[in-house]
Amino acid sequence: MEYFLELVFSGLTRGSIYALIALGYTMVYGIIGLINFAHGEIYMIGAFTALIIATVLNMYGLPLPAVLILAAIAAIVWSAAYGFTVERVAYRPLRGAPRLSPLISAIGMSIFLQNYVMLAQTPNFLPFPTLIPEPAFLEPIASMVGTTDLTILLVTTVVMVLLTLLIKFTRTGKAMRATSQDRTMAFLVGVNVDTVISITFVIGSSLAAIGGVLIASHIGQINFYIGFIAGIKAFTAAVLGGIGSIPGAVLGSFVLGLTESFATGYVSSAYEDVFAFSLLVLILIFRPAGLLGKASIEKV
């Protein structure tokens, strides 16, 4: 039973990280119908930013929680700036072009950012400092679920709640939903669609940055390639849940995280990806639009 719970928690932790990244894919897809292949790199840049800031702050001997928060804020700002810029330079000029053009531009952007970080930093793995403290009072359950897992779950929950409130109740959120449902009509009621698209990239990138900081702190090392792997998994989760659907991305992420966790725990970690992608194929056969996707979409 304890082992089972351990696997559940580890699945939920993975799922949370996937969700933080998958939301960026699904929101951008919902608004401009583009699979933003460079999104994984935004997450990787978040992790690198946090590493640099945390290293500097650690030298000054700041307390851990302060370092974590400051590093996370820096990561969010920096990733958001990258996400915003990528949209401006790589996608906006191609608006109105055939669908394939921005897709290729996105792949180019992804490769460019990977290589840029590899050259500017290093091709090797860098150790990532532990930023999440392990207080003594959690000792008894530490074998089932560590503080890092709890922190990841908690942060993800808070972020999801805030995002839901933003999208449901604010003027910006309504404009985002309207734009994704009918772009021409959004123009006609006076929405500045370009601004909405930029905001979507900024929000998606910020969420990815949070994911980047959390996972880097969890795993303890990063390199320029982590965005590619995490990106593919999160993208899978988004498709699983129904790309374009926000609750779908969250559900898909948890389904994927739990599947991987159980596959690793009860079968072998070698089969983790086999189970994950078999699940994807199965769901796409029986529910082509994904778990919560609308049946009508035919965009990819």
Partner 1 sequence: MLELRHVDTYYGNIQALYDISLEIKTGEIITLIGANGAGKSTTLMSISGIIVPRRGKILFKGQDILGMAPNTIVQLGISQVPEGRHIFPALSVAENLDMGAFLRRDKKGIEEDRAYIYELFPILKQRRNQPGGNLSGGEQQMLAISRALMARPQLLLLDEPSMGLAPLVTRQIFEIIKKINKEQHTTIFLVEQNANLALQVADRGYVLENGRITMQDKAELLLANTDIQRAYLGI
Q: Site residues (CB under 8 A) for partner 1?
A: 171, 174-175, 177-178, 181-182, 184-192
Residue 33 vs 265, nearer CB to partner 1 = 33
SS3 127: strand
CB of 178 to partner 1, least distance (A): 5
According to DSSP, residue 58 is labeled: H
Residue 51 vs 191, nearer CB to partner 1 = 191
CB of 246 to partner 1, least distance (A): 12
Residue 118 vs 178, nearer CB to partner 1 = 178
Tokens of 112: 């460019």
CB of 198 to partner 1, least distance (A): 14
Question: Distance between CA 262 and CA 174 in Å, rounded?
Answer: 38
Residue 153 vs 178, nearer CB to partner 1 = 178
Burial (Cβ within 10 Å: 0-12, 13-18, ≥19) of residue 295: exposed
CB of 300 to partner 1, least distance (A): 20
CB of 186 to partner 1, least distance (A): 8
Burial (Cβ within 10 Å: 0-12, 13-18, ≥19) of residue 164: middle
Residue 70 vs 178, nearer CB to partner 1 = 178
Tokens of 146: 């560590």
- 8 A C-beta contact, residue 38 and residue 90: yes
